[in-house]
């Protein structure tokens, strides 16, 4: 599609049709003082000067290319192979808008089909949609689907306090104004056994994060049975990298798996665009929001791809739909698909192993430091790539010291969300952190405590 600006003749034809002499006359109802205000801009700069200015602004940021990063809490510094960006920047993918006549865009459909297939393998689920905006909105869609799948008869959703605090806020935003009640996380220390006791025949969904927000694995044995016994759905928020090494939610009975897919080769980009992974069981495919690409054969028997379930919210189900989300992040989903295809099963497992071992190396060294304690809020629970550190000083003070003296981006201040975890820091270690960086972090923490 070519971009053609209006010509003077076009403008004149439109003015003639309206019956105005000029643009000024057309705008005469706009008060004079705001009609053509003086913008008080500096003189025009050259391209080179603009580049200097923008580059200066960009360099004022603290970023992971110039600092060691131990900040996670939902967005992670994993390595992105260059092939991901190479494929994304191909014009056929990069410039395409959402396919409104989908079957003509076979390449886009095939890419989405492969993304969905890999997400199903990774999560152990039957079906994946073509993505949502991010992990938080994906979870909110999962909750809406559970409410809808239980035919709107159930009004209770149990949310573990160890689900990402911002995800819980987004879920509440989605159901505000309805008569749905979100319970479970009003006690920030509530454990799984306590949450399970809240299950009843009014419960539509039971939501956990695994590994949880603190990076620890939940004891999920028997959980799905307990949730299903009351007719509710088990929704699991997962870390996709952890699924390269650990049991997927599909294997322990999850009905919906939601995940933030940023870890799969997508840059952190100051918070977005990220990727909302959403997978579920066949039984709920008609209740699922978003779109679904399928493989079929054309009239000549050749393989082809179709939009098996289009964005029905938009033009079929409308007000009867589970959700009113019509859009997704196709390009980012493609990036995740290229990442997964590049790493393969062994590569993903290797990334997960590196995260696991490096984080455990860091945790054991920090645990030996005077004044620090590791995972003291829930001792003995296994963890993946993040862990909680109880600090001898406020987290802000320690992080300032780490950045100033060691060029280290420290951990997340858990006191912001969990009052009982004041002076507790959530540290993430990925495959990108070298042993030297980890040793520097340990030394930095030691000095910060003095």
Partner 1 sequence: MNIPDDLKYTRSDEWIRVKGDEAEVGITDYAQDHLSDIVYVELPDVGREVKAGEVIGTIESVKAAADINAPVTGSVIAVNEPLPDSPELVNKEPYGQGWMVRIRLSDPKELGTLLDAAAYQKYCEERG
Question: Which residue's entry shows tokens 């009867």?
Answer: 320
Which residues neighbour 344 within 8 Å (Cβ) at sequence distance 6 or greater? none
Query: Given the rule CB under 8 A, which of 69-77, 215-223, 311-319, 440-448 is the region that contacts partner 1?
Result: 311-319
Of 21, 22, 153, 247, the one binding partner 1 (CB under 8 A) is 153
What does the block give as tokens for 18? 């309206």
HSE-up of 173 (CA within 13 Å, CB side)?
11
CA–CA distance, 449 with 445 (Å, rounded to integer): 6
Pairing of strands 156-159, 203-210: parallel
* Residue 291 sits in the site that holds partner 1 (CB under 8 A): no
Secondary structure of residue 409 in the 3-state scheme: strand
CA–CA distance, 74 with 168 (Å, rounded to integer): 13
* Residue 282 sits in the site that holds partner 1 (CB under 8 A): no
CB of 101 to partner 1, least distance (A): 16
Count of CB atoms within 10 A of residue 321's CB? 18
* Residue 364 sits in the site that holds partner 1 (CB under 8 A): no
Kindly identify the residues of this chain, within the stretch 41-70, that bind partner 1 according to CB under 8 A.
none
Secondary structure of residue 297 in the 3-state scheme: strand
* Residue 316 sits in the site that holds partner 1 (CB under 8 A): yes
CB of 154 to partner 1, least distance (A): 12
Q: Smallest Cα–Cα separation from 275: which of 130, 148, 86?
A: 130
* Residue 22 sits in the site that holds partner 1 (CB under 8 A): no
Residue nearer to partner 1 on the CB measure, 75 or 149: 149
CB of 317 to partner 1, least distance (A): 4
Q: Omega of the bond prior to 366 within 30 degrees of 0, cis? A: no
Residue nearer to partner 1 on the CB measure, 283 or 397: 283
CB of 160 to partner 1, least distance (A): 29
Residue nearer to partner 1 on the CB measure, 186 or 319: 319
| Burial (CB count <10 Å: 0-12, 13-18, 19+), residue 96 | middle
CB of 200 to partner 1, least distance (A): 17
* Residue 358 sits in the site that holds partner 1 (CB under 8 A): no
For partner 1, what does the binding mask look like between residues 101 and 140, x meaning CB under 8 A? ----------------------------------------
Largest CA distance in the chain: 81
Query: Given the rule CB under 8 A, which of 180-188, 191-199, 293-301, 315-323 is the region that contacts partner 1?
Result: 315-323
* Residue 151 sits in the site that holds partner 1 (CB under 8 A): yes
CB of 144 to partner 1, least distance (A): 16
| Burial (CB count <10 Å: 0-12, 13-18, 19+), residue 337 | buried
Q: Smallest Cα–Cα separation from 194: which of 179, 210, 206, 212?
A: 206
* Residue 318 sits in the site that holds partner 1 (CB under 8 A): yes
**Residues near partner 1 (CB under 8 A):** 151, 153, 286, 312, 316-318, 320-321
């Amino acid at each position: 599609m070519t971009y053609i600006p209006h010509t003077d003749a076009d403008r004149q034809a439109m003015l003639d049709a309206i019956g105005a002499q000029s643009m000024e006359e057309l705008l005469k109802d706009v008060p004079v003082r705001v009609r053509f205000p003086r913008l008080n801009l500096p003189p025009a700069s050259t391209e080179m000067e603009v580049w200097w200015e923008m580059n200066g602004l960009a360099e004022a940021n603290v970023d992971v290319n110039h600092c060691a990063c131990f900040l996670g809490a939902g967005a992670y510094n994993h390595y992105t192979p260059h092939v991901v960006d190479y494929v994304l920047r191909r014009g056929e993918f990069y410039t395409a808008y959402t396919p409104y006549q989908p079957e003509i865009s076979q390449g886009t459909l095939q890419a989405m089909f492969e993304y969905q297939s890999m997400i199903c393998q990774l999560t152990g689920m039957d079906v994946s949609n073509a993505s949502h905006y991010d992990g938080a909105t994906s979870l909110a869609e999962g909750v809406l689907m559970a409410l809808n799948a239980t035919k709107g008869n159930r009004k209770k959703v149990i949310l573990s306090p160890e689900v990402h605090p911002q995800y819980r806020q987004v879920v509440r935003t989605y159901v505000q104004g309805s008569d749905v009640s979100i319970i479970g996380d009003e006690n920030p220390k509530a454990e799984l056994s306590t949450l399970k006791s809240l299950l009843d025949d009014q419960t539509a969904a039971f939501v956990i994060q695994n590994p949880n927000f603190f990076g620890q694995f939940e004891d999920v044995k028997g959980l799905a049975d307990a949730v299903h016994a009351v007719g509710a759905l088990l929704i699991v928020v997962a870390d996709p990298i952890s699924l390269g090494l650990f049991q997927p939610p599909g294997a322990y009975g999850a009905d919906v798996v939601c995940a933030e897919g940023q870890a799969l080769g997508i840059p952190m980009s100051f918070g977005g665009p990220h990727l909302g992974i959403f997978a579920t069981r066949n039984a709920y495919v008609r209740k699922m929001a978003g779109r679904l690409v399928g493989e079929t054969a054309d009239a000549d028997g050749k393989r082809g791809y179709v939009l098996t379930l289009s964005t029905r919210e938009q033009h079929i189900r409308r007000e009867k739909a589970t959700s009113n989300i019509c859009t997704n992040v196709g390009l980012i989903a493609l990036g995740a698909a290229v990442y997964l295809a590049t790493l393969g099963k062994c590569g993903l497992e290797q990334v997960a192993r590196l995260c696991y071992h490096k984080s455990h190396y860091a945790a054991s060294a920090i645990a030996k430091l005077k004044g620090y304690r590791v995972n003291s809020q829930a001792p003995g629970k296994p963890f993946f790539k993040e862990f909680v550190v109880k600090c001898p000083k406020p987290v802000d003070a320690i992080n300032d010291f780490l950045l100033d003296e060691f060029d280290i981006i420290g951990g997340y201040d858990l006191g912001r969300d969990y009052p009982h975890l004041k002076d507790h820091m959530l540290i993430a270690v990925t495959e990108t952190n070298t042993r030297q960086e980890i040793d520097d972090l340990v030394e930095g923490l030691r000095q910060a405590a003095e």
